[in-house]
Amino acid sequence: MSGVFFSSRWVEPPPGTEVLDPAALAQGFAAGAVACGLKPSGNTDAAVVVARSERCDSALLLTRNAAAAAPVRLCRESLDLNRIRAAAVKAGNANAATGEQGMRDAIEIQAAASEALGLDPSLVAIAATGKIGEALPMDRVLDGVRRAAAAVHPDGGEEFARAIMTTDAFPKRCTVRCEGVTLSAQAKGAGMIQPGFATMLCFVQTDALADDPAAALRRAVSSSFERITVDGQMSTNDTVLLQASGESGRPLPEGLLDAVLLQLALQIVADGEGATRVCRAEVRGAESVEEAERTARAIANSPLVKTALFGHDPNGWGRVAQAAGMALAGEELPELGLDRIDVGEFAGELREAELSVRLDRGEHSACVWFSDLGYEYVRINAEYTT
């Protein structure tokens, strides 16, 4: 896995895991993408992934943002969550904060994709990413969805991953095989990344038998997408879909989904808008896992800590102490001096850094991965057009 998985220290796939061409999808799946004019660049921006066989066990997780976009609200209301056969995705326009017209547009997009694929609308999820608050050019979108549905093929993973990108510098995708099971996944995300649970779009296909895909997905997300942050902002459109065709006739190998989702999560942090470094913040000795995670997240989201990471600041430990203390405001605990903070490679030149904080309040621990914060983040978001 070396050179393909982001970090051998942080990602541990099951023994014998083989990396395949990321264009290849798991057995029983097909994907395609076309350009319909949502992105100013003219790049592909409408994509479809579909399970060919009637059997498809599924699980779906969606953003907790109270201002959830129309596609998210429609998925909550209309889908048979255990049997989702397909997803139609558009990039360049989030269809968020678009009122009732946005909801009507979402319904129309789902209907167009369903008709093109010959599926009931309750089996077709929709997702979107891009600018918020802009009406959709529906003629172009509907044409793009129909053409993408007609263009699906078994090696469409790479083009699907590229089509769902917005400010991403590179596509996030991975296809692996282990114990006779293939798992493919595609994700997007670079900014507006803060774990409410997912913080981006991610689509996972496997030919494994999945007895409880919802439980498997929740577990994998809790140790991957829920533990990353770029800028502390929760998206209106977060979507994670797992589909299992069962065509291999084999169960999902333990740890495979977890490793792939952590791989994609770390790729998102590494591609944080303007990011130059990634850091793992660990908090040990907390009274509870919740306390440990809250403290780690306060460190990871601190602009002072993130800019210190960007500047390779050897005095960054003081900023770490401040952020941890803020998370524990009102608690009685020993002073967070140098003896309790190990900045490790924080001030070094490595792209992957680590730091840890010891609280001596209990036996619990948690970690969060985060990116640094530099000049480029401001430029990208000040000039954002997709």
Residue 258 clears pLDDT 50, i.e. is over it: yes
What does the block give as tokens for 283?
């908090």
Half-sphere exposure of residue 175: CA atoms within 13 angstroms, side-chain side = 19
The β-bridge relationship of strands 341-342 and 352-358 is: antiparallel
The rounded percent of the chain whose pLDDT value lies above 90 is: 76
Residue 5 clears pLDDT 70, i.e. is over it: no
Residue 27 clears pLDDT 80, i.e. is over it: yes
The better pLDDT of the pair 337, 62 is held by 62
Q: Which of 63, 167, 175, 199 is catalytic?
A: 199
> Residue 1 — pLDDT band, cuts 50, 70, 90?
very low
Average of per-residue pLDDT across 300-321 = 93
243 vs 51: CA distance, rounded Å: 8
Taking only the tens place, the pLDDT of each residue in 222-247 is: 999 999 988 777 788 999 999 999 99
210 vs 224: CA distance, rounded Å: 20
- Domains of the chain plus CATH, in order, are 18-270 (3.60.70.12), 278-382 (3.10.20.340)
Residues shown for the chain: 386
Q: 231-262 burial string, b = 16+ CB within 10 Å, else e?
A: bbbbbbbbbbbbbbbbbbebebbeebbbbbbb
Q: Is 182 tagged catalytic?
A: no
What is the structure's pLDDT at 196? Answer: 43
What is the structure's pLDDT at 198? Answer: 33
> Sheet containing 228-229: which strands, arranged edge to edge?
228-229, 364-371, 278-286, 352-358, 341-342
Q: Are 93 and 131 in contact (CB under 8 A)?
A: yes
Lowest mean pLDDT among 2-11, 180-189, 300-309: 2-11
Q: Model-level pTM?
A: 0.92
SS3 117: helix
221 vs 234: CA distance, rounded Å: 15
50 vs 266: CA distance, rounded Å: 26
- Residues contacting residue 329 through CB under 8 Å, at least 6 positions apart: none
DSSP states of 3-18 as a string?
TTBS-TTT--PPTT-E
What is the structure's pLDDT at 234? Answer: 79
Beta bridge partners of 46: 34, 90
Helices within 168-302 (DSSP H only) = 213-222, 256-270, 289-301
Average of per-residue pLDDT across 203-227 = 95
Taking only the tens place, the pLDDT of each residue in 52-99 is: 988 899 999 998 889 899 999 999 999 999 999 999 999 999 999 999
